[in-house]
Structure 1
Amino acid sequence: MRHALRGVVGDAVPRRVVVESPPRRGSGDYATGAVLQAARAGGVDSRVLAQRLAESLAGRFGVGRVEVTDPGFLSVTLDGAGRSALIEALTGQDRSVPDAPAQDARHWAQVTGERYEKLLRRTEASPLFRVQYAHARTRALLRNAADLGFTAEAGAGAHPYEGPAERGLLALLADQHRIAEARDHARLARHLTTVADAWHGFHETCPPLPRGDEKPGAAHRARLALTEACGTVLAGGLSQLGVTAPAHL
């Protein structure tokens, strides 16, 4: 986005260009108001500038649609190839380690202010448990898939990742880097909880493993790749909070 904006406004690019999930889930995957800052700095009409940026972004790899709304906000929707590339970028080395319940609960409580005793209980009432359990489930699904003879493959069969649960989860995963950079650990913990809850919803509506007599197909490989990316993001966030990311619970 910064590169595209520089091509339109030159040196009037703001020092900080924020691209984030839109506050209300609509048609776009990401939104930015960076044009408004650049327009003020350059003394130009923000709507005209936003339209020029939209034209610059349209047709680039991974961009499916760009919409402009008053007074100059941009809404960007990725296509299937863009979502697949994002999943590949988010997937990294597994940082799973054995859990340390007392230490984990203490660190989470220090960050969030939640009661230590509540966090020690491994129930859905504990945000810590929900996050660690989601991570453990992602790793278990990867092991189960290997037993069934298939592995994760982002975009397998040109899978578009256009279902609401898929798009919602992927947007949260992509937002992790921006939130982690802010060094606000309480906010990061809340975000990880939201990611974990979104993953559980995704798992219910878009199962990464075949069910019943179903055979593994391209959709399963593609969903498994999103599952793997989610596990990587959860592990990285937990590590930043000083909390373990167990592969088994």
Structure 2
Amino acid sequence: MTPADLSRTVLHAVHRAVAENALRAPVPARVRVERTRPGGSGDYACAVALQLAGDAGLPALEVARILRERVAAEPGIGRVEITGPGFLSFTLDAPGDSDRAVLDAVREQGSAYGHGGALRDEVLQFHHAREVRAAVTADAVRRLVVSQGARVRISCEEAGEMGAAGEAEWGLLGVTVDAYGTPPVTSPAGPSAPLIPVRPVPAGATARELLERLGPDATRWGLLRPASHDRAPLGDELLVQGEGNPLFLVRYAYARTRALTRGATALGFTPATVAAPYESSARPLLDLLADHPRVLLAAARHRAPDRVARQLEAVAHAFFDFHDSCPPLPSGDEKPSAAHRSRLALAEAAGTVLAGGLSLLGISAPAHL
């Protein structure tokens, strides 16, 4: 990571803090980082927290803590310390160390990679209309915010679309509702959490119609992939077995990662993360995997499952680009090498992220397509 890269990373953290309402201050045009002076801590230092403290109405130390939280997990950053009145001091990773740390985290955490506790203090109550897209969206939002530690309750204005049969069809889509009708503002136990309405553009079809035509996975993807304020395209293109169909692309990428693992097992070798830098064609995929926890948290905060769908599409495209230029399996009489083992580790990490993301959307990830 160069000083210019570090400057952009810190500026990105400021943008995120402002966007997430953790910091209320104008975003500077640039952030200056300097080599740490003799006797100082870390490789580089930055005074941006002191610069923003006045406009933010917060002590510089508090601004520094807000920014440290958002910089510390970025690729290439080994350690972030707060020194003096609010300086941020950065120790950079050696080349390859941050990549290995990301892959190790994915391997250790599995499908829970990117889950966290940022919303652990929140108790949320979502409320939606008796309509299939609203119900599926509320369910996906529940999965997302729970993955970040929140506690959630969902209520629906009325019982299912067609009584008990309608509820069963919602169940086939993975939808559960905790209560029907508008919950009271207060109860004998005290005031309830305020209702948060979930109001996407309606699907224009019932759960039964969509299930009969598309099945549960394609229905959920079709309802969740567009932003909630956009109409959901629900045509037969969702069933096309080709890379032009984003759902097929994502699931095919996952299935391909599983096939690579089976192939490596047959050849007698296993994945291994390495400290040496990966090939340049692996960089987009590595960056997307490193960014995955931030994407999940942002999707949870903004109640936006479409962000997860777009992240999975980007991971799938980057995986295939990497796979085609740096095959994880040897060809012909070639013997498995350290490069093959490290590539396999990256491919398996991509598959883990794809499966975990699909699970948060309530969509299955088959190992064979």
Q: TM-score, normalised by structure 1?
A: 0.69
**CA-atom RMSD, angstroms?**
3.7
Which runs of 5 or more structure 2 residues have no equivalent in the other structure? 45-71, 79-89, 113-210, 226-231
1:179 correspondence with 2:295: yes
Q: Which residue of 2 aligns with 1:160?
A: 277
Distance 1:222 1:118, change over 3 A: same
Cα shift at 1:222: 0.4
Judging by fraction of residues, say which structure has more helix. 1
Which structure has more relative contact order (CA 8 Å, sep 6+)? It is 1
Other structure's SS at 1:31 match: helix
Task: Tell me, yes or no, if structure 1 residue 229 matches structure 2 residue 343.
Answer: no
Q: 1:77 to 1:131 in 2, by over 3 A?
A: farther
User: Percent identity, aligned pairs only?
Assistant: 45
The separation in 1 between residues aligned to 2:219 and 2:307, in whole angstroms, is: 17
Instruction: Give the whole-Å Cα distance in 2 for the aligned partners of 1:114 and 1:56.
Output: 54
CA 1:142/1:27 → structure 2, altered by over 3 Å: closer, same or farther?
A: farther
Once the two structures are superposed, what CA deviation does each residue of 1:190-225 show, in whole Å capped at 9, x if it has no partner? 111011011000001111000122110000000000
Q: Choose which of 115, 127, 140 in structure 1 pairs with 2:246.
A: 127
Amino acid in the other structure paired with 1:141: L
> Are the structure 2 counterparts of residues 94 and 187 from structure 1 closer, same or farther at C-alpha, using a change threshold of 3 Å?
closer
What does residue 43 of structure 2 align with? Answer: 58
Asked if 1:211 corresponds to 2:325, the answer is no
Would the aligned equivalents of 1:209 and 1:216 in 2 still touch at CA under 8 Å? yes
Name the structure 2 match of 1:103. 216
Residue identity in the other structure for 1:179: V
Over 3 Å counting, the alpha-carbon distance change for 1:126 and 1:56 in structure 2 is farther
Q: Give 3-state SS (helix, strand or coil) of 2:336's partner.
A: coil
Alignment of 1:117 with 2:236, yes or no, is yes
Residues paired across the two proteins, number: 203
Shift of 1:164: 2.5
**Does the 8 A contact of 1:27 with 1:77 survive in 2?**
no
Does the Cα contact within 8 Å between 2:10 and 2:31 map onto a contact in 1? no
Using the size of structure 2 for normalisation, the TM-score is 0.48
Answer 1 or 2: which has greater strand percent.
2
Give 1:82 deviation, angstroms. Answer: 2.1
Residue 152 of structure 1: SS of its match in structure 2? coil
Structure 2 residue aligned with 1:22? none
Once residues 220 and 24 of structure 2 are traced to their aligned partners in structure 1, the CA distance between those partners, rounded to angstroms, is 43
Which sections of structure 1, spanning at least 5 residues, go unmatched? 1-25, 66-73
**Deviation by residue 1:57-113 (Cα, 9 ceiling, x = unmatched):** 5399x8489xxxxxxxx9x77611221121111124479xxxx97211000001122
Change (3 A) 1:53 1:121: farther
Larger Rg over CA atoms: 2
Query: Aligned residue for 1:10?
Result: none
CA deviation vs aligned residue, 1:127-172 (integer Å, no higher than 9, x gap): 00000000000011001000000001111xx4311x2221110100
Q: Distance in 1 between matches of 2:326 and 2:5?
A: 20
**What secondary structure is seen at the aligned counterpart in 2 of 1:109?**
helix
Alignment partner for residue 266 of structure 2, among 147, 156, 166?
Answer: 147
1:11 alignment partner in structure 2: none
- Residue of 9, 12, 18 corresponding to 1:31: 9
Q: How has the CA–CA distance of structure 1 residues 129 and 211 changed in structure 2, closer, same or farther, with 3 Å as cutoff? A: same
